[in-house]
């Protein structure tokens, strides 16, 4: 994927709609149909994703939060006092609150996010829940090259990229992203990174196809979004959600499968589906520790520490620039 970051603008601005149209036309007229996973996150998609994180099958969020809580003393000791935490795509700010309230005298918190209204909400939450830590919000798209403003302290910068969002990027894109973080943070920086680990098929496929159908609704919302924003006419109930563990690529793949032969109109084009034909909508790469270390290494980072849970489901890494 290019850009696993959440896009929450609603209704979509014209530029964003044009980009969605271009991506949808390119992806749905290709021999193997695809849609980039960044488009999963409109307002409804973001709401559904928050609901996914509360599903019993979706272990990553609660496991990572458990690691951050349990290992907070070790993380705080390794990071040291006076860090400026720079979070890329801060979500609802919950993990920032957890981190900042455990670090020793953090100097500042810098959430980096493309959607200004989302940034405001995160800044208010963190200011309220961790008073005394200056919040310096930065509007930027970290999926592209960006710099931090001069007001952000240069010393002891700690990048923060939790949630295993790194897994939604293809490995070469993930290395580019880590390289960009390194360039933006500067020499001497550290990065606290969450990465989901490889595990058995049953647990992975259940995590991406929960019994309550929330992940299915999240995936199908992509077709609703095309109908809403591009005036397409997908018959959404004629598609179903599928999640498949690809053991060779070590990633969970999400698809929308057409239940019958059908056609849909999209931006003046007719898109045909055979029965059983799929649209590939997301990859969620899982990492073995040695592969994550090699990825970090390729991007110029050195692994300093890794923390995991008892079941070795998830990993939190501290990397040195």
Question: In this structure, are residues 122 and 107 in contact, taking their beta carbons and an 8 Å threshold?
Answer: no
Question: In this chain, which of 208, 245, 301, 307 binds ligand AVI, going by CB under 6 A?
Answer: 208
Q: Which range touches ligand AVI (CB under 6 A), out of 13-21, 95-103, 122-130, 162-170?
A: 162-170
Quick one: 205 or 320, whose CB is closer to ligand AVI? 205
Question: In this chain, which of 113, 209, 282, 309 binds ligand AVI, going by CB under 6 A?
Answer: 282
Question: In this chain, which of 63, 258, 284, 315 binds ligand AVI, going by CB under 6 A?
Answer: 284
Q: Which range touches ligand AVI (CB under 6 A), out of 102-110, 137-145, 164-172, 223-231?
A: 164-172
Q: How far is the CB of 285 from ligand AVI (least distance, A)?
A: 8
- Alpha-helical runs (H) found in the chain: 14-28, 43-52, 59-70, 72-79, 94-100, 116-129, 171-185, 201-207, 214-230, 289-298
Q: How far is the CB of 155 from ligand AVI (least distance, A)?
A: 30
Question: In this chain, which of 60, 159, 162, 171 binds ligand AVI, going by CB under 6 A?
Answer: 60
Indicate whether 278 belongs to the interface with ligand AVI (CB under 6 A).
Answer: no
Indicate whether 52 belongs to the interface with ligand AVI (CB under 6 A).
Answer: yes
Question: In this structure, are residues 313 and 195 in contact, taking their beta carbons and an 8 Å threshold?
Answer: no
Listed in sequence order, the residues at least 6 apart from 47 whose beta carbon sits closer than 8 Å to its beta carbon are: none
Q: Which residues pair with 194 in a beta bridge?
A: 316
Q: Which residues pair with 306 in a beta bridge?
A: 317
Quick one: 71 or 219, whose CB is closer to ligand AVI? 219
Listed in sequence order, the residues at least 6 apart from 209 whose beta carbon sits closer than 8 Å to its beta carbon are: 57, 215, 216, 241, 242, 243
Q: Please give the Cα distance from 24 to 266 (Å, whole number).
A: 8
Q: How far is the CB of 193 from ligand AVI (least distance, A)?
A: 12
Q: Please give the Cα distance from 242 to 108 (Å, whole number).
A: 42
Indicate whether 221 belongs to the interface with ligand AVI (CB under 6 A).
Answer: no
Indicate whether 163 belongs to the interface with ligand AVI (CB under 6 A).
Answer: yes
Return residues touching ligand AVI (CB under 6 A): 4, 52, 60, 163-165, 167-168, 208, 215, 282, 284
């Amino acid at each position: 994927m290019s850009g696993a970051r959440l896009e929450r603008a609603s209704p979509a601005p014209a530029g964003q709609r044009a980009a969605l149209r271009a991506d949808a036309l390119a992806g749905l007229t290709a021999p193997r149909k695809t849609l980039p996973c960044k488009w999963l996150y409109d307002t409804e998609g973001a709401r559904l994703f928050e609901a996914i994180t509360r599903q019993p099958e979706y272990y990553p969020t609660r496991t990572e939060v458990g690691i951050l809580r349990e290992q907070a003393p070790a993380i705080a000791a390794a990071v040291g006092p006076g860090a400026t935490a720079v979070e890329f795509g801060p979500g609802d700010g919950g993990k920032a609150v957890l981190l900042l309230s455990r670090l020793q005298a953090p100097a500042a918190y810098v959430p980096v996010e493309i959607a200004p209204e989302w940034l405001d909400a995160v800044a208010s939450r963190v200011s309220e829940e961790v008073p005394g830590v200056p919040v310096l919000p930065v509007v930027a798209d970290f999926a592209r090259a960006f710099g931090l403003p001069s007001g952000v302290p240069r010393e002891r910068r700690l990048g923060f990229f939790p949630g295993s969002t790194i897994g939604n990027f293809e490995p070469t894109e993930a290395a580019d992203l880590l390289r960009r973080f390194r360039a933006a943070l500067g020499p001497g920086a550290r990065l606290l990174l969450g990465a989901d680990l490889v595990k058995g098929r049953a647990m992975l496929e259940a995590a991406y196809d929960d019994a309550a159908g929330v992940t299915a609704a999240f995936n199908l919302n992509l077709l609703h979004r095309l109908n809403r924003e591009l005036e397409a006419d997908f018959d959404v109930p004629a598609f179903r959600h599928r999640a498949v563990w690809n053991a060779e690529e070590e990633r969970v793949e999400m698809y929308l499968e057409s239940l019958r032969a059908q056609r849909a109109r999209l931006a003046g084009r007719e898109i045909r589906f055979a029965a059983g034909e799929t649209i590939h909508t997301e990859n969620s790469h899982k990492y073995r520790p040695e592969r994550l270390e090699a990825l970090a290494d390729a991007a110029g980072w050195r692994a300093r520490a890794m923390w995991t849970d008892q079941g070795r489901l998830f990993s939190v890494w501290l990397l040195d620039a």
